[in-house]
Amino acid sequence: MDFAFILIIALAVFLVVFIKTEFGLYLVIFSMLLSPELGSGGGGLAEGRRIIIRSEDVLLLVVAFSWFAKTAVNKELGLTLKTPLNRPIMLYVVVTALATLVGYATGTVGGMSGFFYVLKYVEYFVVYYMVVNNLTDRPQAWRLVVAAFLTAVIVSLIGAAQIPSGQRVSAPFEGEAGEPNTLGGYLLFMMAVAAGIALETTRLRVRVVCLALIALMGLPFVYTLSRASFLGVPFVLGAFALLSMRRRLMGGVLLLLIVASPLAVVLLPKPVVERVLYTFEPEVGQPTVRLGRVAFDPSTSARLISAQQVLVGWTKRPILGYGVTGFGFMDAQYFRTLVETGVIGLAVFLWLVWSTLRSGVLSFRALANPEERGLALGFVAGLIGLLVHAIGANTFIIVRIMEPFWFFAAVVIALPILAAQEAAAPREKRARPFGRVA
């Protein structure tokens, strides 16, 4: 793509967003899963990956810069507002960057790998702060949520169109190989959010729409053949059974799934059954891990072997680890965080996750509107599903999962304050969802 053309588009976006920030938020939401590559280069990165620049990266940079410029001109807007996640986010970024700098200094991190990966980690926190700083009322929040679901519809339709090919379904613009695990995690989270609204709403039309969304997203979800995503489903349902007003209904669904699980071989599509059973099918000549009489497939065995190597490596650098990308590739979030950022990094990461989970539960309990309660409930259940997904994937550092996640985190955390503002509006006018940081 011609550089001059990109520059003109970027300038136009900057000016429009400067005037109307909400427009930029829509652009960011649609670009999360629907952004093509602008260019890439080989070499320089760990794990044999290329430096890939998507239109999403450029767009987010332009929108964020326009927002910074707008706050600089209008001092009343404020740049950083108080939220329950400010401290854990900031500490997580600092510890990750510090561990990577130590990795550069000691030679475990080389080239530009650590820099680009840390930059990616920061990217989705920018989404969180942009959304939480620019929500002014509940209707605006719901407009953005509808845009996020519309994006999921488009992604699901594209995914469904891939099913006849016989290949595992992946997200748009993921290259030839694709990343089915990424799409699986994204759809797991989005289905949880839609299910939460369907459970809590008292309006039949809203429930029907949400159930239709779940059915649409469920089709490509199944054909991602992502075992980590499948594993998250019962935990999402368990969260609903624990928290939802319809506990009996969800308890019945869980019981039905347990009783009917032997029928899964007949009811589920053949590729799904084969994918799940493949977990326990070792291959001759490939590394195989055994637990008693149970032997695992090469992929699962590789993850277990990597976990063992991580624990051995971590004992040599337990405090701050080897830095981001400093220990090599592994598809397991918790072990990767431990070996790359040490016990300090893992503790801060778990604090961030706990703070987010707690904030979601508090919002769920504080909200009175049924749809808003459902949104918070779905967010909490989706987070629990992603925590399970992270056992077999780098879930919390995958931008295409984390950007939508942090978007919804911002909305869920802001909604109770926006509702309180609306109730207090006749007595006291408040334009911002949170107080400014001192």
For tokens 């539960």, the residue is 361
How far apart are the C-alpha atoms of 237 and 353, rounded to whole Å? 19
Helix axes 21-34, 113-134, angle to 10 degrees: 140
How far apart are the C-alpha atoms of 159 and 166, rounded to whole Å? 12
Predicted pLDDT of residue 111? 78
How far apart are the C-alpha atoms of 432 and 418, rounded to whole Å? 8
Strands (E) in 37-143, as ranges, are 37-41, 51-54
User: Which residues share a beta bridge with 436?
Assistant: 81
Blockwise average pLDDT, block size 10, the chain, 438 residues: 65 72 82 70 48 66 70 59 89 95 91 83 86 89 96 95 89 75 95 94 94 95 92 91 77 64 64 72 70 74 83 92 87 92 96 97 95 96 97 90 95 92 65 44
- Residue 211 three-state SS: helix
Locate the domains of the chain by residue range. 3-424
Give kind and range of the element (H or E) at residue 134: helix 113-134
How far apart are the C-alpha atoms of 300 and 208, rounded to whole Å? 38
Alpha carbon separation from 311 to 144, 282, 306, 317, 388 (Å, rounded): 42, 24, 9, 10, 20
Tokens of 274: 């084969």
CA 31 to chain centre: 14
How far apart are the C-alpha atoms of 29 and 229, rounded to whole Å? 22
Q: How far apart are the first and last CA of the chain?
A: 44
Tell which residue, 401, 408, 404, has the closest CA to residue 363: 408
Q: What is the DSSP string of 89-108?
A: HHHHHHHHHHHHHHHHHHTS
Predicted pLDDT of residue 263? 58
Contact call for residues 394 and 375 (beta carbons, < 8 A): no
SS3 track for 198-215: HHHCCCHHHHHHHHHHHH
Type of residue at 240: F
Alpha carbon separation from 205 to 8, 213, 364 (Å, rounded): 43, 12, 22
